[in-house]
Structure 1
Amino acid sequence: MEYQEYANEVLQELKKTLLSVSVNDTSAFVDLLLGAKEIFCAGAGRSGFEIKGFAMRLMHMGLNSYVVGETCTPNIDEGGLLVICSGSGETKSLVNHAQKAKSVGAKIALITIDPNSTIAKLADVVIEISAPSPKSAHEGRIHSIQPMGSLFEQTEGIYMDIVIMMLMERKGMNSDTMFGRHANME
């Protein structure tokens, strides 16, 4: 296949996965984000890269957001929300984070392929992205020409950007108001 054919196929896959996400679950996720005192973001591997971008955008909005595992991340408590990106929902370190958050009364939101995973059972909101992954026992309904969990990882990144746009609308913000919090020591 040529570049244009690959690009077209990837775009079609992304359209299918993004449009398969539950509107009701997304609304509940946005409500959790708006109601949280602090938002803690966790993921491993490529999902970890995606969730860091989400934490950054939350910070640009003026929300108290942190990346779990960073040295300046405070403790989570009852007013906190833990957002986890995990295709399998079974990554041991992320399961541990979810269990800790639950034990202190924090809320949990999970973005995953498997809505029946260990973390999903602990979560207050589960966002299912139907995509294939070699690490998930739950095979998504949408198949991909891309390797490994690429479709899930791409979709979760774009999904979180859409959630940011929904938050912006709810908070009456635009890109200009957010840019005022952009890093200036680069």
Structure 2
Amino acid sequence: MRLFHLGLQVSVVGDMTTPPLGEGDLLIVSAGPGYLSRVQSLLETASAAGARTLCVTAQPDGRCPHSADHVLTIPAQIMADDSGPGLSILPMGSLFEGAQFVLFEIMVLKLRDRLGIDPEKMRRNHTNLE
């Protein structure tokens, strides 16, 4: 959503208007535990179509990160390691998901500055159908 607000051409997997991926495209996926069957399938489809891939994960040695062109590791607790002493009281993968949200928002701010987009231009790209 924020990439769209920046004026970039973006789509979401599963939306009926999502175009096919191909060369020059980037598929960004999230697989906190390092492997999710649906994410693995998306990575394979995107790679076969010539798109580049980025996997955001807490487990960089997982199958999905190994299938991606680029890996962004967030060292945060996930459901696979959410029990034991000294761990977050947040349930399951909440810590990873929250860290991912904050990281993405910071990345959007950095990208906004890099692209020279002002906040008002982003606001103009926000839907009026709420």
TM-score (norm. length: structure 2): 0.91
Distance in 2 (CA, whole Å) between partners of 1:135 and 1:104 is: 32
The AA in structure 2 aligned to 1:76 is L
The AA in structure 1 aligned to 2:23 is E
Q: Which residue of 2 aligns with 1:176?
A: 120
Asked if structure 1 preserves the Cα contact closer than 8 Å seen for 2:56 and 2:74, the reply is yes
Residue 98 of structure 2, aligned match among 154, 175, 179:
154
The AA in structure 2 aligned to 1:175 is P
The AA in structure 2 aligned to 1:121 is H
The AA in structure 2 aligned to 1:110 is C
- The alpha-carbon deviation at position 178 of structure 1 amounts to 0.6
Give the 5 Å matches for 1:19-98.
56-98=1-43
Q: Does 1:99 align with 2:50?
A: no
- The alpha-carbon deviation at position 145 of structure 1 amounts to 2.0
Distance in 2 (CA, whole Å) between partners of 1:150 and 1:177 is: 32
User: Which runs of 4 or more aligned residues in structure 1 lie more than 3 Å from their structure 2 counterparts after TM superposition?
Assistant: none
Aligned CA RMSD, in angstroms, stands at 1.4
The structure whose residues are more often helix, as a share, is: 1
Segments of structure 1 that go 5 or more residues without pairing to the other structure are 1-55, 137-141
Asked if structure 2 preserves the Cα contact closer than 8 Å seen for 1:88 and 1:117, the reply is yes
TM-score (norm. length: structure 1): 0.64
Distance in 1 (CA, whole Å) between partners of 2:102 and 2:111 is: 14
Q: Which residue of 2 aligns with 1:133?
A: 78
Distance in 2 (CA, whole Å) between partners of 1:68 and 1:176 is: 28
